[in-house]
Structure 1
Amino acid sequence: MSASKQKKLNEMEVDPNEEDSSSSEDDDDEPHPEAYRGNEEVQIDFEGRAPVDPDAQGISQLLQRLFLRAHINCNQMADLIIAQNYVGSVICQCEDDEPESETDDDNMVEDGTVFGITSVLNLSAKKDQPSIAQLRTYLLDRAKAHAPGAVHDQLKAILENDQPQTGFLVNERFINIPAQISVPLLQNLQQEIEAAKAKKMKFDFDTLLLLVKFYRKEAKKGKPAEDNYTNAEDELLSERAKFSFEYSVASETDSGMSGDWLEGDAVMTPYRKLLALDAKQLPQLTKDIECFINGE
């Protein structure tokens, strides 16, 4: 896919009065698209396109926000994502609706901000790549420390068996970008996976691993704990996972930026959760996400 090929996404309307469950997580250290002026709603048009070399820093920064202080080479992982630009999309803001020359489009790629990335990496075929080896070790170490024994054993069996193949699903974006954008991105990803499989590329996954971010409002005064997912669709995916485990990352975050924070008098603690999804269910999961987001 050429760098200039755009994957048109739905026009997104951002409501400034709509609370984002994770807004306090990222306000201090994540750039935002201009979503509104005062109380005026502003429609922002996003597009998806194949990742290209100038996107490397933006993709790496999104990965770093996911992995925090983990010993994972996010720059090298970003390069792997870009190298397979026939699968996956980055989210960019459309400048205007006028046709552009190829030169103009190249300039837009160089100067634009990456607002999100949706892609998949083969943990089996790329296990010798440094960042993938580090990721596999990181996941197993976290499972050993935090997961029930049966879950740890399942994850270990998946990662130590190269057949069938296991993919790592990357689905990261800036906050305040509506969850509806995840639907066309996942639809595009599924279509591209099928096209790659038809060309005998190594994208025939049995399991997709997805690391998601959420905050937990700790139980207090008889009220149960409440989880708030950074990406709304991750709540549904968590319910549909074959297995999962979670762990706090409060000790890995910077105080006052992405660490514990207060909502009223309740402490909000940052967590990560690893989900194991049935790869063959991705089309149905995407449909379910669309219904979930639309309240159907």
Structure 2
Amino acid sequence: MSKRKELSKSKAMPADDLDGDSSSDEVDVDFEFFDPQPDVDFHGLKALLRQLFDIDNTRFDISALADLILSQPLLGSTVKSEGNETDPWAFLTILNMHTHRDKKVIQDLRDYLLSKASQSPPLSPLPKLLDASSSAQVGLILTERLINVPSQIVPPMYTMLLEEIQWALAENEPYNFSHYLILSKTYTEVASKLDAEDSRPQKKKKAKADTTTLYFHPEDEVLQKHALGFASYDYSSQGDEGAADAKRAFQDAGIKPQGHIILIEASKFEPAVKAVVEYIGVAS
């Protein structure tokens, strides 16, 4: 039975996030949570998936992935601010990689994730779990949101996902996961190429590169504390030299995005979600 997620929360956001103005004024935005809906969410979901995979998004059939997500409308959430017929500002979903193992887009995702895991010892259990002969039920969690959408929308999405999985299991749906695999994004700061090329005497000393991992999604720092393994990885595709400076976001250093993988055993997932709720709270 389809349902509208009635949880509606108000959160102040910078006005420039909405209309491109540089004003520091804030506006109140009411967020509503909906089931994914094929008739209205396809294009908005594709845009968020491209953002999630960043420069590597061309390696996958994003349309097929969006269709697969929308084929299970009673699992996962979209977040909107101006009614059901508008594009989502955020989404969260889960796909059973075992059930969908014969689909080309899942095979491509599997190969991609295995290639990244092979470079990261903390993710050494992943190849065995995703092997074609494995009976493991790995749930791939995909989630993304527009920049500066507040993180307070995250706890309700994860909490509702836990509830929906239980409802699905009660109806013998294939969501009895042994592991959860969360695909996300991190970044590091890199020295600005623009600063290096600017030799004006009055120019401040250029920012040095910082190898510290920083998080687009602050909940990832909490989730990985409950993980069997996690790691960031470089994207397979290479951006142009100016890409890091294009993502400076009014700071001295450039930004180098990376992919991020978090592997959580099923028994640890609910405590991880509760920790996220405690850390972030809910929108008010």
Match of 2:273 among 286, 289, 292: 286
C-alpha separation in 2, matches of 1:212 and 1:141: 16
Question: How many correspondences in the alignment?
Answer: 263
- 1:250–1:270 CA contact under 8 A, matched in 2: no
Instruction: Give the alignment of 1:96-115 within 5 angstroms.
Output: 108-109=84-85, 112-115=86-89
TM-superposed deviation, 1:225: 3.0
TM-superposed deviation, 1:239: 2.7
Q: Does 1:72 align with 2:46?
A: no
- 2:35–2:74 CA contact under 8 A, matched in 1: yes
Q: Which amino acid aligns with 2:211?
A: A
C-alpha separation in 2, matches of 1:88 and 1:277: 18
Q: Which residue number corresponds to residue 187 of structure 1?
A: 159
Q: Which residue number corresponds to residue 14 of structure 2?
A: 16
Q: Which residue number corresponds to residue 138 of structure 1?
A: 112
TM-superposed deviation, 1:228: 2.1
Match of 1:124 among 98, 107, 110: 98
- 1:9–1:47 CA contact under 8 A, matched in 2: yes
- 2:247–2:255 CA contact under 8 A, matched in 1: yes
**Matched residue SS, 2:178:** strand
Q: Does 1:205 align with 2:203?
A: no
**Matched residue SS, 1:51:** coil
Q: Would the alpha carbon gap of residues 49 and 258 (structure 1) be closer, same or farther in structure 2, given more than 3 Å must change?
A: farther
**Matched residue SS, 1:48:** strand
Q: Which residue number corresponds to residue 264 of structure 2?
A: 277
- 2:244–2:256 CA contact under 8 A, matched in 1: no
Match of 1:243 among 229, 237, 245: 229
State the TM-score, normalized to the length of structure 2: 0.81
Taking only aligned residues, the RMSD between alpha carbons, in angstroms, comes to: 3.0
TM-superposed deviation, 1:55: 0.7
C-alpha separation in 1, matches of 2:19 and 2:223: 29
- 1:190–1:282 CA contact under 8 A, matched in 2: no
C-alpha separation in 2, matches of 1:6 and 1:258: 40
TM-superposed deviation, 1:117: 1.2
Q: Which amino acid aligns with 1:116?
A: A
Q: Which residue number corresponds to residue 127 of structure 2?
A: 156
- 2:226–2:269 CA contact under 8 A, matched in 1: no
Over residues 199-248 of structure 1, what are the superposed CA-to-partner deviations in whole Å (9 max), with x where a residue is unaligned?
A: 11100001111111111125999996332211111121233221122212
Over residues 70-124 of structure 1, what are the superposed CA-to-partner deviations in whole Å (9 max), with x where a residue is unaligned?
A: 52111111111111111111111144xxxxxxxxxxxx42xx0111111100001
Q: Which residue number corresponds to residue 216 of structure 2?
A: 230
Q: Which residue number corresponds to residue 100 of structure 1?
A: none
C-alpha separation in 2, matches of 1:147 and 1:287: 27
Q: Which residue number corresponds to residue 32 of structure 2?
A: 47
Q: Would the alpha carbon gap of residues 254 and 11 (structure 1) be closer, same or farther in structure 2, given more than 3 Å must change?
A: farther
C-alpha separation in 2, matches of 1:138 and 1:181: 29
Match of 2:4 among 3, 6, 20: 6
TM-superposed deviation, 1:252: 3.7
Bigger shift: 271-280 or 241-250? 241-250
Q: Which amino acid aligns with 1:170?
A: L
Q: Which residue number corresponds to residue 172 of structure 1?
A: 144
State the TM-score, normalized to the length of structure 1: 0.78
C-alpha separation in 1, matches of 2:48 and 2:20: 19
Alignment gaps of 5+ in structure 2: 192-205
Over residues 177-219 of structure 1, what are the superposed CA-to-partner deviations in whole Å (9 max), with x where a residue is unaligned?
A: 1111011111111100110011111000011111111111259
- 1:259–1:269 CA contact under 8 A, matched in 2: no
Alignment gaps of 5+ in structure 1: 18-26, 96-107
C-alpha separation in 2, matches of 1:157 and 1:91: 35
C-alpha separation in 1, matches of 2:50 and 2:176: 27
Over residues 30-78 of structure 1, what are the superposed CA-to-partner deviations in whole Å (9 max), with x where a residue is unaligned?
A: xx54599934321111111111112111112211222233521111111
Q: Which amino acid aligns with 1:51?
A: P
C-alpha separation in 2, matches of 1:276 and 1:44: 33
**Matched residue SS, 1:121:** strand
Q: Which amino acid aligns with 1:248?
A: D
C-alpha separation in 2, matches of 1:232 and 1:193: 24
C-alpha separation in 1, matches of 2:91 and 2:8: 16
